[in-house]
Amino acid sequence: MTTSEFLFRNNRRRFLKTFSLAMGTAALGAPLAFGQFGTSPQRKKLGIALVGLGNYSTGQLAPALQETDYCYLAGIVTGTPSKVTEWKQKYNIPDKNVYNYDNFDQIASNKDIDIVYVVLPNALHAEYTIRAAQAKKHVICEKPMATSVEDCQRMIDACNKNNVKLSIGYRLHFEPHHQRVMELGQQQVYGPVKNIEANFSFVTDDPDQWRLDKELAGGGPLMDLGIYCVQGATYTVGQTPAAVTAQFGKVTKPTFFDEVEETITWQMEFPGGAVANCSTSYNGRGNRLFGRATKGSWELNPAFSYSGIQGKTSEGPMNLPNVNQQARQMDAFANCILENKQTSVPGEMGLRDVRVLMAIYEAARTGKKVMI
């Protein structure tokens, strides 16, 4: 899909509704990331260009880049000219570091920009990751990595071919409460993990947003929110699920959910015997990650928010700090580039997770257990 087609499709739902009214790793468990970044005080900061200036870039990533130690906001890519002046003034971005989707490939000659952060609708992740790689820029791609396993592999291949690093925007790998969950589960602090429960849901109030367009989003809340549950369960045990079963929930808002699911629940079986029960919805409330082992348990609630995460174990509160997740995530990737290290959230992890998401959809459609 070209960007022009995306811009058309992004308005398609609204137009049609208005018109109709008028007309009647193998197992890639997350490595524990308690040691953060290198300490060399003389290192240069790497320049990041944000591709897509929607809510996440505006409200989270750009502000976070004002708190980073190893990278900074160097450029922007947008299809909305009216945003350019504000962003240039607010973040002191020079004209030469401002791009649109038509001249994006010219970024190859811009030495100010080392990293391209793709923050576009899911269906565009593959195109812009591949184009960034061909421009010899390192890439952070927002989750989910893509809308198909095949696109994920194309993205990995393009980055490998062009000798650039690829990281997926899994911010919670750099958040202290989730790092503690990784430690508790993977190191079996309370014994082997037996059960995991994860839910991430909210109520959407805009029937015309791109997240409800299947071609742009790849699916509904499973792609957007459920991936956090897949991730949480997976890095709790440090294993890839071996099998999944799943069930679509009842559609209660057919004018909203005419293309994607409203609610979905699923179960994941892990090789070590742990079972995860998960759910996500665009018409519900939930924000929890729970784990039970043979000798204890733990819970994050809220679990997946940008801030305010709280945790406890069967022994008491976790008493861990809340941090700027996005700043830590971007600093970690910049440091990987500066020290030529592998990111803890590589493209292969993103591919694994998209494969799990596709298996969940297949299980829900067929009513059968799907092996992974």
One-letter amino acid of 69:
D
Burial classification of residue 275, based on how many CB atoms lie within 10 Å of its CB (0-12 exposed, 13-18 middle, 19 or more buried): middle
Query: Which structure tokens are listed for 10?
Result: 């992004």
Residues 6+ apart with CB under 8 A from 349: 25, 28, 30, 168, 170
Catalytic annotation, pick one of 91, 101, 170, 228:
228
Other residues' Cβ atoms within 10 Å of the Cβ of residue 93: 18
In 3D space, the residue among 114, 111, 95 whose CA is nearest the CA of residue 47 turns out to be 114
Answer yes or no: are the C-beta atoms of 267 and 280 closer than 8 Å: no
∠ CA 137-143-147, rounded to 5°: 95
Is residue 228 flagged as an active site residue?
A: yes
Cβ atoms of residues 11 and 79 within 8 Å: no
What is each CA distance from 131 to 51, 147, 152, 252, in whole angstroms? 12, 17, 14, 40
Q: Please, is 92 exposed, middle or buried when counting C-beta atoms within 10 Å of its C-beta (0-12, 13-18, 19+)?
A: exposed
Cβ-count burial of 344 within 10 angstroms (0-12 exposed, 13-18 middle, 19+ buried)? buried
Question: Nearest 5 degrees, angle CA 140-CA 145-CA 149?
Answer: 140
Q: Catalytic annotation on 235?
A: no
The neighbouring-strand residues paired with 317 are 312
* Tokens (6 digits) for 29: 């468990």
Tell me which of 143, 170, 190, 235 is the catalytic residue. 143
How far apart, in Å, do the first and last CA atoms of the chain sit?
29
Residue 348 contacts residue 28 (beta carbons within 8 Å): yes
What positions carry a catalytic annotation? 143, 228
